[in-house]
Amino acid sequence: DARVTQTPRHKVTEMGQEVTMRCQPILGHNTVFWYRQTMMQGLELLAYFRNRAPLDDSGMPKDRFSAEMPDATLATLKIQPSEPRDSAVYFCASGRSTGSGNTIYFGEGSWLTVV
**Where do contacts with another protein occur on this chain (CB under 8 A)?**
31, 33, 35, 42-43, 45, 48, 50, 55-56, 89, 91, 93, 97, 99-101, 103-109, 111
Query: What is the closest distance, in whole angstroms, from the C-beta atom of residue 84 to another protein in the complex?
Result: 21
Whichever of 9 and 85 has its CB closer to another protein, that residue is: 9
CA atoms of 79 and 23, how far apart (whole Å): 15
Q: What are phi and psi of 84, to 5 degrees?
A: -55, -30
Query: What is the closest distance, in whole angstroms, from the C-beta atom of residue 31 to another protein in the complex?
Result: 6
Cβ atoms of 92 and 6 closer than 8 Å: yes
Query: What is the closest distance, in whole angstroms, from the C-beta atom of residue 106 to another protein in the complex?
Result: 4
In the chain, what is the greatest distance between 2 CA atoms, to the nearest angstrom? 42
